[in-house]
Structure 1
Amino acid sequence: MSLLFRFALAASVAVASPSAFAAESVLLHCGKLFDSRSGKLLGAHTVAVDAGRITSVVAGHGTVAEGSGARILDLRNSTCMPGWTDLHVHMGGQSSPDSYSEGFRLDPVDFAFRSVAYAEKTLMAGFTSVRDLGGEVSPHLRDAINQGLVKGPRIWAAGKSIATTGGHGDPTNGYNDELSHLLGPPGPSEGVINSVDDARQAVRQRYKEGSDVIKITATGGVLSYARSGDAPQFTVDEIKAVVDTARDYGYRVAAHAHGTEGMKRAVLAGVTSIEHGTYMSDEVMSLMKQKGTWYVPTIHAGRFVAEKAKIDGYFPEVVRPKAARIGALIQETAARAYKAGVKIGFGTDMGVGPHGDNAREFLYMVEAGMPPAFVLQSATIRAAEALGVDDQGVIEAGKRADIIAVPGDPIADIESVLDVEFVMKDGVVYKDRVGNREAPSP
């Protein structure tokens, strides 16, 4: 399968017009600057960028020594901020009424071609980094992006998520008896475990395949072809074996979880983050605060599936009641978690909803009672903390030159995040709807 994906991506990039995405020396004259450390919106600043890094950040629009000879980009009517990070996406697919049959009809090359388009949409929406939590295509897409062959965000790839037999990530759910007998039961290589030893093997297999992060499905899920959306599906010992083995390889562990008991087991076992968290109890929130566990709500996905559950035929009938019941609750849970002081990182579960629509999550978080500055931090400096990196998420000298711009003031009007007009990643300008106008000489 891995080899097929490599061929698929090679075919994809052949039609992607792979120009040399070279970083240049530029000065950005920003009308306002979002300071993600303080959560405050600052006045006019000049940001100097060279060789993919920020070299200086100074107030006003004067000259900057490090930027001598640099091209000047006029963003004086815009707010500059660090490029956003979405901590929960699936680049290999996108929900549709045909999703449940496509795995039988399409080839890996089809999913690879699609992922190239999804990656570019995500980048152009202002997301310069993503954590892809499940999908065999993502490690290969990551490599193609890193090599400058296609346009897309920086990817932390989980590869195949780890599940239990019949669990949310079991790839054979819904197969008929004949097909199941023909293929045989999936095991750790396919991401399905049933013991502590299996758990260790599954993590090592992800290491062998080049993953950056480990994802487990600690409870049932909404879109899997199975009845339960919230039952616990791992023992504490199994999750702990995943976490301990992951730590050996420098991995963090994200846990998909809707049900209370599954969340509790995952937090006690030491996972880095809880994804979705629909039925999160006060006890679980308290445990997460004690353990420093992150929460990634994915409100967009919840609202999307709840809406689609109203449409006859969009989901299989075994999925439809779960989508209607669970999806509608996530925003309320996120509101309670914020009030309780749980650490929150930005994530959408995009691939459930349409790629490129990621920024709408900001609006839903604000609707849930989170301040605009807080939600912007959740996708910048807080997301970097959740990933365990310190070279992005802030606009400061020495950090990656991941910079985006939106018109107006996103603190006063959060809907401005839907109108990203400038995107720079690693010092390369990928989108400039302002038109590359040069600012007048000071």
Structure 2
Amino acid sequence: MNHKYLFATISFGFLFNLSMAQNTYIHAGKFVDVRENRLLDTMTIIIDEDIILAVEKGFIKGNPGDKVIDLRRYTVMPGLMDMHVHIESQTSPNQFAERMTSNEADIAYNAAGYAETTLMSGFTTVRDLGGSGVNISLKHAIAAGKVVGPRIYTAGKSIAPTGGHADPTNGLKRSMMGDPGPTDGVINGESDSRKAVRHQVKLGADLIKITATGGVLSVARDGSAPQFQQDEINAVIQTAKDFGIHVAAHAHGDEGMKRAIAGGIHSIEHGTMMSEATMQLMISQNTWYVPTITAGMSAAAYARIPGYYHPLVKAKAETIGAQIQTTFEKAYQRGVKIAFGTDAGVFPHGENYREFIYMTEVGMPNLEAIQTATLRGAELLGLVDKVGVLEAGMWADIIAVDGNPEMDIQVMKEVVFVMKSGRIYKNEP
């Protein structure tokens, strides 16, 4: 047989099959270009399975058999990315008591519901910053198609010192406290720091989170003082770096932020009492800021409801919560690098869109706020070649909203279409 002819025949057959393969054509009335922060009109996104093939001007018709999705009345943009959620839990006046009564199975069932709610609100990728470890199993279940939810990158269990914000025994009676250690995410000293990181990586964590200062919602006295010595922070970050993963730092007080930044932290979460000197330090060190304004505003509001929080939590929520929006305004004006994050779980999952409202209230333009939840989130995760923009070669994570977000950011609540990795999960039009 003529092998040259055989190769030509196979090549022709491959090209013929490729031309006949069914693609999806999305006709977008308005299209958010998150690189340039502008709205384009009348665009078509062409998708092959889970990958974007092309983005073209005009409403392009495909071949017979291709699928067309009509979003000509809507605004289309990349799937949103929330860089700070707690997918296992949700705020409740009984939250502290539920820690004593919830089994892993209970947490998992609840988390599956929260994950689906998050995806249906337009968030196709999230960074989960601390839970019991169920978050790691949920990540795998979603990736395997067993559960509906966003793509999850998770820290597993947060790491704290004894009595710190993420010590799981805070508030318990003494007979139940015990002495949790590195495998529980509780450390004291450099050796513990390394072991705790290695253990979370062993369990399947994608990144590490430390509680660099006290926190608002833990049943512990202080909400802002530093909680790690510098050698402990350095050990956590260096060990994580050896594994090729990032470290995020929960931090309300300024000194804890400075220690974390000095150690090479990748992102500061909350940043409530951040000084201008620390803002400048973050700029010089290329450190990300994830504001979580919605969590602060929500905690302050819940603190006004009698009996909603434990008395220790109530006092901190009243004094710390509402400050975050002002800090965000100053950090944005100064030029700190910002990625969208909400702390969802501190407030009901599915209300993540509120962060856009709080960001734009103090001066960030609407489309730039959307950029923080798309392109900037991808940059923080190191996934700029996969997600965050609608361009050829990217994963087909696409949403649509009913309205013009450049004119009215409130429309981010009205998500009518959700596609993740080329699969449609919501199509209300």
| 1:56 matched to 2:61 | no
Deviation at 1:318, TM superposition (A): 0.9
Q: Cα deviations across residues 214-251 of structure 1 (Å, max 9, x unaligned)?
A: 00000000001111000000112111111111011111
Q: SS at 1:109's partner residue?
A: helix
User: For the pair shown, which has the larger CA radius of gyration, 1 or 2?
Assistant: 2
Q: Are the aligned partners of 1:24 and 1:428 in contact in 2 as well (CA < 8 Å)? A: no
Alignment-mate amino acid for residue 396 of structure 2: A
- Measure the CA separation in 2 of the matches of 1:227 and 1:325: 13
Match of 1:282 among 276, 280, 288: 276
- Measure the CA separation in 2 of the matches of 1:189 and 1:25: 48
Match of 1:142 among 139, 142, 163: 139
Alignment-mate amino acid for residue 93 of structure 2: P
Q: Are the aligned partners of 2:22 and 2:65 in contact in 1 as well (CA < 8 Å)? A: no
- Measure the CA separation in 1 of the matches of 2:23 and 2:134: 33
Partner of 1:8: none
Query: 1:380-395 residue pairs with structure 2 within 5 A?
Result: 380-390=374-384, 391-395=386-390
Partner of 1:107: 103
Partner of 1:410: 405
- Measure the CA separation in 2 of the matches of 1:271 and 1:292: 10
Partner of 2:156: 159
Deviation at 1:109, TM superposition (A): 0.6
Deviation at 1:24, TM superposition (A): 7.2
Deviation at 1:144, TM superposition (A): 0.4
Alignment-mate amino acid for residue 26 of structure 1: T
| 1:266 matched to 2:264 | no
Identical aligned residues as a percent: 54
Alignment-mate amino acid for residue 37 of structure 1: R
Cα distance change, pair 428–309 in 1 and its aligned pair in 2 (3 A): same
- Measure the CA separation in 1 of the matches of 2:172 and 2:420: 42
Alignment-mate amino acid for residue 419 of structure 1: E
- Measure the CA separation in 1 of the matches of 2:306 and 2:407: 39
- Measure the CA separation in 2 of the matches of 1:415 and 1:176: 45
Partner of 2:91: 95
Cα distance change, pair 68–197 in 1 and its aligned pair in 2 (3 A): farther
CA RMSD of aligned residues (A): 1.1
Where in structure 1 are there 5+ consecutive unaligned residues?
1-22, 435-442
Partner of 1:176: 173
Partner of 1:327: 321
| 1:243 matched to 2:240 | no
- Measure the CA separation in 1 of the matches of 2:232 and 2:174: 28
- Measure the CA separation in 2 of the matches of 1:119 and 1:140: 12
Alignment-mate amino acid for residue 332 of structure 1: T
Q: Cα deviations across residues 71-124 of structure 1 (Å, max 9, x unaligned)?
A: 001000111100000000001110101000111112111111000110000000
Q: SS at 1:73's partner residue?
A: strand
- Measure the CA separation in 2 of the matches of 1:189 and 1:109: 21
Match of 1:42 among 22, 34, 40: 40
Where in structure 2 are there 5+ consecutive unaligned residues?
1-20
- Measure the CA separation in 1 of the matches of 2:77 and 2:186: 41
Cα distance change, pair 231–225 in 1 and its aligned pair in 2 (3 A): same
Alignment-mate amino acid for residue 432 of structure 1: N
Q: Are the aligned partners of 1:304 and 1:327 in contact in 2 as well (CA < 8 Å)? A: yes
Match of 1:190 among 169, 184, 192: 184
Q: Are the aligned partners of 1:125 and 1:420 in contact in 2 as well (CA < 8 Å)? A: yes
Q: Are the aligned partners of 1:24 and 1:427 in contact in 2 as well (CA < 8 Å)? A: no
- Measure the CA separation in 2 of the matches of 1:24 and 1:272: 42
Deviation at 1:70, TM superposition (A): 1.5
| 1:304 matched to 2:298 | yes
Alignment-mate amino acid for residue 283 of structure 2: K
Q: Cα deviations across residues 117-152 of structure 1 (Å, max 9, x unaligned)?
A: 100000000000000000111110010000001110
- Measure the CA separation in 1 of the matches of 2:230 and 2:101: 37
Count of residues in Structure 1 that have an aligned counterpart in Structure 2: 407
- Measure the CA separation in 1 of the matches of 2:313 and 2:34: 39
Partner of 1:432: 427
Alignment-mate amino acid for residue 398 of structure 1: G
Q: Are the aligned partners of 1:83 and 1:126 in contact in 2 as well (CA < 8 Å)? A: yes
Deviation at 1:62, TM superposition (A): 2.2
Q: SS at 1:394's partner residue?
A: coil
Match of 2:81 among 79, 85, 88: 85
- Measure the CA separation in 2 of the matches of 1:137 and 1:332: 34
Q: SS at 1:95's partner residue?
A: coil
Deviation at 1:25, TM superposition (A): 2.9
- Measure the CA separation in 1 of the matches of 2:55 and 2:194: 46
- Measure the CA separation in 1 of the matches of 2:89 and 2:391: 35
- Measure the CA separation in 1 of the matches of 2:57 and 2:66: 18
Partner of 1:316: 310
Q: Are the aligned partners of 2:226 and 2:253 in contact in 1 as well (CA < 8 Å)? A: yes
- Measure the CA separation in 1 of the matches of 2:247 and 2:327: 21
Partner of 2:196: 202
Deviation at 1:408, TM superposition (A): 2.2
Q: Cα deviations across residues 261-295 of structure 1 (Å, max 9, x unaligned)?
A: 00010011111100000000011000000000000
Deviation at 1:68, TM superposition (A): 5.9
- Measure the CA separation in 1 of the matches of 2:72 and 2:247: 41
Q: Are the aligned partners of 1:170 and 1:191 in contact in 2 as well (CA < 8 Å)? A: yes
- Measure the CA separation in 2 of the matches of 1:141 and 1:368: 36
- Measure the CA separation in 2 of the matches of 1:24 and 1:235: 58
Partner of 2:392: 397
After superposing on structure 2, the runs of 4+ consecutive aligned residues of structure 1 that deviate more than 4 Å are: none
